[in-house]
Amino acid sequence: MATAAAAAAPLADAHHEELSFIRKYIFSTDHKIIGIQFLFASLAFLVLGGVLAILLRWQLGFPGEELPGVGTVAPKFYNSLVTMHGTFMVFFAVMPLLVGVYANYLIPLKIGAPDMAFPRLNMLSFWMFIQSGIVMTASLFVEGGAAGSGWTAYAPLSAVPQYTGASLGQQLWILSIVLFGASSLLGSVNYITTVINMRAPGMTLFRMPLSVWALFITAIIALLAIPIIAAAVIMLFFDLTLGTTFFLPADGGQPLLWQHLFWFFGHPEVYILILPAMGIISDVIANGSRKPVFGYHSMVLAIIAIAFLGWITWGHHMFQSGMNPLLGTSFMISTMAIAVPSAIKVFNWLGTMWRGNIRFHTPMLWAIGFVSLFTVGGLSGIFMASNAVDIFIHDTYFIVAHIHYVLFGGSLMAIFAAVYFWFPKMFGRMMSETWGKIHFVLTFIFYNLTFFPMHILGMAGHMRRIYDPTQYEFLQPYQPMNRFITISAILLFVVQLPFIVNFFWSLFRGKKADINPWQDNGLEWTVPSPPPHGNFAMTPTVYRGPYEFSVPGAEADYMPQSVPPSGSQ
């Protein structure tokens, strides 16, 4: 049982330098390389998800018209677009961008560990992710088309091929989700073990940066939620292929069982997508404000409270599903309760900026954008939490606006903050600040032009996932708005170009980065950029919390966690 000691000991093997290219960059077990692999892969999926979004937006803005160079969007293809846009964005872009990339990259560095607890499982996790991504992408091209039952795959629509016309596509969708789940599970086991067992001396739980806290709690949620969706899609798969009848009402199955299972996973999944973003934003705002995070302990408690409450609120997706109305009441109450810890977080971010000395570096701009837009998403959530109001706005564009304010305005803004913030550590070069700021301003503008009007569409009763809004008389007056949204969405897509160019240009040509370009306190900023295999030449010792900025009497306005207290030797 000497494993623990061996794993925690400083890793300074000389032969790491001699690894072949393939072992070093392709089948690497180094958590940093794996994090970077996740970054490239999931950014590619993000672009793919964006392309799908543009195609479906085209149909909504210009129904039946030909998209130059592509052609028209057929109704069946439209449903596949809706399904695959959601699927790619949730499972292959936002979730891996937050968890795959930053849990991998940051956890060991920030807690002072040489690597993950199980480096080979970590590698396996990445390659399973790639496999699942390939299967999902391939499903776009199979006969019968990709799955067309929505990313929520409501049964029996998803359980009988004749209902959507997609047969193989739906099966591949399930297969991909299972592979994805396995990958995510391996990752979670790794992250949790690493945080519990491999913190450097002095890195007590309440000295962990909020990003690590959030990623840790997220891993626990994923560990417990992913098996539920795995069980659900496997039953769905058996319904499709082996003749079981879990979700088929004609033979005793229950369609609502699918919805319960899906949302029992699905709501915690939403927190998998937002909690890490909140953690990252807390780190960046403290750094940008040069101040400690306001109310660190309540921030931690809020994360835990959100994670806990997330398990008892799934029914708010099912208010109109035919579930017992009394359950509707209890799910409203539990859902509303989540507004409290969410509000604490927003106010504490504002409190962090209050009386600060704010540096508007690019990551800070994205973090401010996050606070601004997440607030909108959080507030619009209250409308849906109200079971009465939900009767009207359920399955309308109000919901579409809400999820995009949370997952794009929230999560994706945090992802961009993280990319700009840790790019120098990952690649040893700075990204262009000027272009980063241009990217932020343009994204912020076109983001709001795209998604804010969707609230108004939703209030008008505009249904989600309909192919042609002009079919309805009451929606015809809103067609100019639909067109406006589509044009804004295209521009939103286009203004990501500066980011892509900046990213690749900086990768090779960017200014060389110092060890600590943002003057931050995390342990990752005490090692070279990029850090060597094994991270720390000597296991660091941690003496203080993560946010000791502008300590009165100190020389600099930051104080890395490994700086010993003055006075002691």
Partner 1 sequence: MDWLPGAASSYAADLDRIFYVILAITGLIFVGVQVALVYFIIKYRGRKGRQASYVEGSTKAEVIWTVIPAVIIVGIAVASQTVWSEIKDPNHFPTDALEVNVEARQFAWAFTYPGADGELGTDDDYIRYNQMHVPVNRPVVFNLTSVDVVHSFFVPAFRIKQDAVPGMNLRAWFEATEVGEYELACAELCGVAHGLMKGKIIVLSEDEFQSWAAEQS
Partner 2 sequence: MNEAITLPGGVTAEPGMRIYNQKLGMWIFLASEVMFFTGLIGAYIILRFGTTAWALPGVPLEEGGTPLAINLTAFNTFMLICSSVTMVKAFAAIEHGDQKGLRRYLVATVLLGAAFVGIQVVEYIALAHEGFLPRCSEELAAVVPNCDLFGSTFYTMTGFHGTHVSIGVLCMIWVTVKAFRGKYTKENHGGVEVIGLYWHFVDLVWIMLFTIVYLI
Burial of 40-51, coded b for 16+ CB within 10 Å and e otherwise, reads: ebbbebbebbbe
Using the rule CB under 5 A, is 260 a contact of Cu ion? Answer: no
C-alpha 452/C-alpha 446 separation (Å) is: 10
The answer to whether the peptide bond before residue 119 is cis (omega within 30 degrees of 0) is no
State which of residues 329, 512, 528, 564 lies at the interface with partner 1 (CB under 8 A): 329
Q: Using CB distances below 5 to 8 A depending on partner kind, what does residue 267 bind out of partner 2, Cu ion, partner 1, none? A: Cu ion
Element (H, E) at 47: helix 31-61
Using the rule CB under 5 A, is 267 a contact of Cu ion? Answer: yes
Q: Which stretch binds partner 2 (CB under 8 A): 197-205, 386-394, 416-424, 550-558?
A: 197-205
Nearer of residues 40 and 206 to partner 2, judged by Cβ: 206
Q: Which stretch binds partner 1 (CB under 8 A): 47-55, 106-114, 262-270, 367-375?
A: 367-375
- For partner 1, the binding residues in 112-171 under the rule CB under 8 A are 148-150, 154, 156-157, 160, 163-165
Interface pattern 540-569 for partner 2 (x via CB under 8 A): -xxxxx------------------x---xx
Q: Which of 317, 327, 328 is nearest to 258 (CA)?
A: 317
Backbone φ/ψ region at 112: left (φ over 0), alpha (ψ -120 to 50), beta: left
Using the rule CB under 8 A, is 459 a contact of partner 1? Answer: yes
Residue nearest to Cu ion (CB): 267
Using the rule CB under 8 A, is 311 a contact of partner 2? Answer: no
Exposed, middle or buried by CB within 10 Å (0-12, 13-18, 19+), for 363?
buried
Using the rule CB under 8 A, is 391 a contact of partner 1? Answer: yes
- For partner 1, the binding residues in 239-298 under the rule CB under 8 A are 249-250, 253-256, 289-292, 294-298
Q: Using CB distances below 5 to 8 A depending on partner kind, what does residue 330 bind out of Cu ion, partner 1, partner 2, none? A: none
Beta carbons within 8 Å of 427's beta carbon, 6+ residues apart: 506, 507, 510, 513, 529, 530
What Cα–Cα distance (Å) separates residue 329 from each residue in 100, 240, 315, 324, 363?
37, 34, 10, 9, 41
- For Cu ion, the binding residues in 522-561 under the rule CB under 5 A are none
- For partner 2, the binding residues in 504-543 under the rule CB under 8 A are 541-543
Q: Which stretch binds partner 1 (CB under 8 A): 50-58, 114-122, 126-134, 314-322?
A: 314-322
The answer to whether the peptide bond before residue 530 is cis (omega within 30 degrees of 0) is yes
What Cα–Cα distance (Å) separates residue 414 from each residue in 66, 83, 282, 353, 371?
35, 24, 10, 17, 9
Q: Using CB distances below 5 to 8 A depending on partner kind, what does residue 1 bind out of Cu ion, partner 2, partner 1, none? A: partner 2
Using the rule CB under 8 A, is 81 a contact of partner 1? Answer: no
State which of residues 25, 40, 206, 392 lies at the interface with partner 2 (CB under 8 A): 206
Using the rule CB under 8 A, is 123 a contact of partner 2? Answer: no
State which of residues 152, 197, 330, 479 lies at the interface with partner 2 (CB under 8 A): 197
**Closest CB 390 distance from partner 1, rounded Å:** 8
Using the rule CB under 8 A, is 10 a contact of partner 1? Answer: no
Q: Using CB distances below 5 to 8 A depending on partner kind, what does residue 14 bind out of partner 1, Cu ion, partner 2, none? A: none
Using the rule CB under 8 A, is 360 a contact of partner 1? Answer: yes
The one-letter code for the residue type at 352 is: T
Pure H helices in 139-202: 161-164, 168-197
**Closest CB 335 distance from Cu ion, rounded Å:** 7
- For partner 2, the binding residues in 260-279 under the rule CB under 8 A are 260-261
DSSP symbols for 519-563? ---SGGGGS-SSPPTTS-SS-----S-TT--S-TT-SSS---TTS
**Closest CB 455 distance from partner 1, rounded Å:** 9
Using the rule CB under 8 A, is 474 a contact of partner 1? Answer: yes
Are the beta carbons of 31 and 86 closer than 8 angstroms?
no
Q: How many CB atoms lie within 10 A of CB 355?
A: 10
Q: Which stretch binds Cu ion (CB under 5 A): 231-239, 260-268, 361-369, 531-539?
A: 260-268
Number of residues that bind partner 1 (CB under 8 A): 95
End-to-end CA distance of the chain: 35
- Strand, helix or coil for residue 227: helix
Interface pattern 174-193 for partner 2 (x via CB under 8 A): -----------x--xxx-xx
Residues interacting with Cu ion, by CB under 5 A?
267
